[in-house]
Structure 1
Amino acid sequence: MTNIDLLPPRITSKFRIDAETGCWRWTGSKARGGYGQLWIAAKKGWRKAHQVTYELLIGPIPDGLELDHLCHTRDRDCPGGTNCRHRCCVNPTHLEPVTHAENLRRGGGVERAAELRRAITHCPQNHPYDEVNTHRNPSGSRVCRTCKREAMRRVRARKKAS
């Protein structure tokens, strides 16, 4: 087990240990993707919390590799995405340096993301994604025609008012 006492209090105060899973859940600031983040003044920028704890307790992440959350790989019930509870785990024993391709494969990658998108039957405004109300972009993403029409009306109204 990794010696948690080697971490500065500034970091350990931002996570809680889940006794059931052994995850160290980050409770501090989170980036858009759901990963824990912290400001590193020496680097003048934000760093992912799991990378910082790994580097402090294990060592540098090898060039060309990224950290895979093994706790996520083992939990097949996790839906993934930005609400994945494993993205906020900073326990370095739950992290393994792997290639990007391997990380995607273990997480279900593109297939899993497509499956999750197909399960969404309505837009955020609760309009149905059906044949009549859905536009497909060249990339394959779906756009709610009702929401798009309402957005264009607001744009035209703003232009007319100015």
Structure 2
Amino acid sequence: MPRISATCSVVAIPGIFIVTMIKPGTLFIVTVNGVVMGKTPCSIDGCTRDRASKQGWCKMHHKRWQRHGDPTYERPTVCIVDSCDRPVFGHGWCKMHHRRWERHGDPLKTLIKTGEPVARLWSSVDRGAQQSCWLWTGSTQSNGYGYMKVNRKTVMVHRYVFETARGPIPETYTIDHVCHDPKRCDGGVDCPHRRCCNPDHLKAVPPGDNNTRDRCISRNGQKTHCKRGHAFTPDNTRIYKSGSRACRRCAAILAHERYLKRKKDQA
């Protein structure tokens, strides 16, 4: 077939086709009965791309049909998991559900227990007799205390138990495990009483009262001088909210040493 120049608008081929020029370099070949045989727009409404398949679709809509079975398929913008409104990250899922699918093969599988916080709490507590300790069997921090997630926030289990059973904790107060006996237990990270969740064994006390019951802390509290020999007098002792203390003269010495080191580095 001869190439049509940009100046031609209509060329007739007797007995077979009517060839119409729409724009320079593009041919639209139409048979006598009106069936399109050449380069024509995609048959999907609103699509101006060239037809690239025998179904009458462009390459994009044909790929959608091959992948999803529907040429008009539109990728979702919100996670397809019910009740999840996060944006799509991949495969129709948000980043969280996509990571779960990568790790476990199921976008809904999670190692974190779901449900009401109180129900999740007691499902991880080994409750024995009323007088014995109810030990937390879930995750623990490096200091030996249990923790859990409540409304996407990390809370200490023994504090959450106290608030659930007894009410709010007074400001600056800590929760003391009255089941802990310094004479029988050395305390520390391995102390089993730190995992106790029995409400009868929990008591809200000032920070100082809680620290004196710990053997390690009470031993330090009995010291009258710091490691540099400075006396723990009222004027030389700084008391923190946690109940711990520090020597003011030692703090001044360390600050002066840092100042001299900084001046030396700048010289």
TM-score, with structure 1 as normaliser: 0.59
**2:118 maps to which residue?**
8
Equivalent residue of 1:8, what SS? helix
Equivalent residue of 1:97, what SS? strand
Equivalent residue of 2:189, what SS? helix
- Equivalents in 2 of 1:68, 1:24: separation in Å? 15
2:208 matches 1:101: yes
Contact 2:173–2:205 under 8 Å retained in 1: yes
- Equivalents in 2 of 1:113, 1:18: separation in Å? 35
Measured after TM superposition, the shift of residue 28 of structure 1 is 0.4
CA deviation vs aligned residue, 1:94-136 (integer Å, no higher than 9, x gap)? 011111111111223434479xxxxxxxxxxxxxxxxxxxxxx
**2:157 maps to which residue?**
49
Superposition CA RMSD, Å: 2.5
**1:78 maps to which residue?**
185
Q: Provide the identity percentage.
A: 35
Question: Which runs of structure 2 are paired with 1:1-162 in the superposition (5 Å)?
Answer: 8-19=118-129, 22-41=132-151, 44-72=152-180, 74=181, 76-112=183-219
**2:103 maps to which residue?**
none
> Using CA pairs below 8 Å that are at least 6 residues apart, which structure has the higher relative contact order?
1
CA deviation vs aligned residue, 1:11-45 (integer Å, no higher than 9, x gap)? 1110102439521100001111100100112xx32
Q: Which amino acid aligns with 2:145?
A: Y
Equivalent residue of 2:194, what SS? coil
- Equivalents in 2 of 1:79, 1:20: separation in Å? 24
- Structure having the higher Rg: 2
Higher helix share: 1
Give every structure 1 segment of 4 or more consecutive aligned residues whose post-TM-superposition deviation is greater than 6 Å. none
- Name stretches of at least 5 consecutive residues in structure 1 with no aligned partner: 1-6, 115-137, 139-162
- Equivalents in 1 of 2:161, 2:218: separation in Å? 30
* Equivalent pairs, count: 107
